[in-house]
Chain A
C-alpha cells in the first residue's frame, strides 16, 4: 500500500518564476467618457462626419468629439450655435427633440429642445463592443475602454515546469487581429443608426438592437437580432433593412419592426461599397485603391424582388466616395474629381444624363434635405440649392479649420 500510495502521490513540483517586461494593455475606465456630455460654445469644424438637417438646425458630427449645432434658418448664412461634447461620437440620428448618439460603447439620448443647453436624458451602457475612428480601433476589453494602447510593465509569471531545464515557451501575448487603419479608409466610423416608424435600429458588433422611440429616457432594447459580423453600411427603406457586412449586403424584411427577418444575401457588395436605395433600385458605388479592390464604378441592381436582386448595369466613375438619391436625381461625390448630378430615370443611359458637374468641390460625402444638398468636401461644408439639378446654386460654405 505504501508503495502504491507513494507512486501515486510522488510528484516533482517545479515552478518557474519570471519577471518579464511586457506590453500591458491600457484600459480606460468608463467614467472617463461618462458625465462629460454637455453643451459648449460653438467651435470650428475640423473632421466632419454625418450631417443631418432637423428643422432649422444643421447637426454635424465632429468625429470622435461631438456634434456641431448650426442655426440654418438662413441657409445662405448658417450661424454656429453650440458644440455638444460627446466623447467618442461617430454617428447620430434625430427624432423630434431627441438626439440619439453613440459615445464609444454607450448609446445616449439627448434632449435638444434648447439647442444651447442640451441635456443627456438616457444612456445604455456598453451597447457597442467595438468601433473605430479614422482607422483607429477601440473596444470594450480589459474591464474598460481599450484604444490599442500598451505600456511597458514588469509582470511576474509563475508556471509549472518539467524540472529538467527544458525551456517552456512563455504564454504568447494574444494581440487581437484587427483590420489595419488602411483597411478602414472607406469609413471614418461604423454606422450605428436607422429609424423606421417609431423604432430605432442600432447595430453593434454582433447584434441589431431595436429601441422604442417612445421611451428615450429608458434606453433598453425592446428586441434584438443576431448579426454575427461588424457592419460597414446600414440603412432602411420601405420596411427593409440593408446591412452591409465585410463581403455582402444582408437584406432583412422589417415589416414586423420588432422581428426583422433575414431575406437574402447580396454578395456583389463589399465593405468598401457605398449604397443608396430608392424606388427598388440599389445604387452601389465602388472606388478602387481600397482594400476591397475593384474599379471606379456605379452599379445598379433591381431589388424589387429582394430575394433575388438583379444586376441592371454598371457605369464607369472617377472614384466615387459617397452617393445619395432623390429620385430621379442621383448625387455622387467623386472626391478630388468633383461632384456629379445624374438623372437616373432611365437606368440604361445614366451616363448620358449628367445634369451637373461641380469640378471645384472635392466632395467626400453628401446629404439631402428636400431640395437642399449638403456636401462635406475637403475644405468645408457646402450647401447647394438643387431645385434645378442642372444648375446647382451655392447657398453657403462653412470652411473647415485646418488642423
Chain B
C-alpha cells in the first residue's frame, strides 16, 4: 500500500533530477576548458548566440548527430569545432559526413557498406568531381532534381559548410592567426584577409564601445580594417593565442587565453555574454530530447501496466508523464524567453508545441477519467511529436523571422491558436486509435470505458473546432493586414480549412445521428491522417502535392498576388517580390 503511494513520486522526481543533471556543464576535456570556449558569443544568421549553437547545428547538418565516436572516444560538437578550426589535420580524419545515396558513394569510388560516415580526407580527392556534379544540379529547381542530384547538392553544400567553418578564424594550411597579425599590412596579406572575410561562417569579435550592437566583425574583416591602418581589434591578439595553444595542445595557455578573450567580451558586451550563457544551458539541457525519452519510458510503463500490477504502474506512468510535461514546458518557456517570441515560429517549434498541447490535454483527461488511456495517448502523442520535431530541426531552430512574420502579435494569436487546434485534432485521433486497438485486443471490453473514450474524443473535437476555426480566421485577418486579401485559397490556408471542415463534419454527423461511436472514432482517425499530412516534411512534399507543403513559417511564400505584381510589371525588370512566409500553419 505504501509503495503504491510512494513509487509514483520517486519515479517522477528521479526523472526530473536526470533532466537537471543533463544541463550541467561539461567538465574539462584533457585539461582544456572546452565549455568556456563554446560559451563565447558570436553573431551568425543575424543573431547573437554561443559558439556551441553553431557547433551543434553544423554538426547536426553534416552528420545528423550532435556528437560522434572517434578513435574510441566520444567527440562532442564543441570539441569537434575546436579541432576543425585549430587542428584541421585531426578534424579531416574524423568520419563526419553521412552519405546514404549509393550513386553519390559511387561517385567518390566507395561501395555501400554498413559504415555510412566518411571523413573529409576520404572525400578530398573527389571534391572536384563532386563540385562539377553539384554545379550541374544546382540550377535545377529543388523540386525537379533527381534523387542523385539532390544528394550530390546536399553533400556539396555540407562540404562547403565544413570548408567555411574551417577557414573562419584562421586560414587552414597557413602558419596561423598569430603570424598573420605580425604582418597585417604586408602586400600579400590582403588576399588572405579577403578569403577569410568571404569564408567566415560567423563573426566572433564583439562591437567596440560606441559601435552599433550588431556591428560584430569576423576575423577577416578585423584584419582588413587593421591593414587599412585602423587600430587592431583587441580581441585578435587573445584569439591568436587561443588558436596557437589549441594547435599545440597546450591546455594551460588555451584556458588562460580563453579567459582573457571571454573577459574582453564581457566588458564590451555583457548582454551578449549573458545571452550566450543562457542559450548554452538550453543547448546542454536538450529539454525536448530529454522529454521525449521520459515520454517513451512512460509509454512503456503503461503498456506493462496493462499486463502486470496496474495499481502500481499506472500512477507511476502518470507521474513520468507529468515529469515529461514539466521538462517539455520548461523547454518551451526557456525558448520563448531566449528568443523573445511566442512559442511557435517555425515548423520545428510547431511540432514541439502541438505535442505539448496534446500532452497537457491528455493529463487533464487522465485526471478526469483515470483509466490510463489519457496517459497512454498523451505519452504517445508527446513522444511522436518530439520525434517529428527532432527530424524537422534544420540548423538553427531559433532563426530570425522574415519581415512579414516579424509580428509577435500575430505569431502569438493566429499561430498559437491554430497549433492548439492541431494538437486537439491530433489527440482526438490518438484516442480513436487507442479505442480501436482496445476494442480488438481487450477480451471483454466494458461499455463504460468505451463510452468514456468516445466522450473524450468528442469533447476534444469540439475544442479543436473552436481553436482551428478561430486560428484560421485570425490567419485570414493577418493576411488581410499584410497583403490585402482575407482569403486567397493558397495551400496553407486550404490545409487549415481542411481541418476545420473535417471537424465540423464529425460534429454534424454526430448531432444528426448519422455516425455513432464507431463512426465518430473512425472519422477522428482520418482527422489524424489530415494533420499528419499537414505536418509531413517539406522535403517529401517537394515532389508531392502542394497540400503537403506545410509552410515552414520562415520560408518564402509564393503569394499569388505578389507574383502577379511582379509579372505584370514589364518595364520594371528588376522588381522583386517580397519574401513572404509560406502562410499560416
* A and B held together in a complex: no
Q: Which residues of A contact B (CB under 8 A)?
A: none
Q: Which residues of B contact A (CB under 8 A)?
A: none
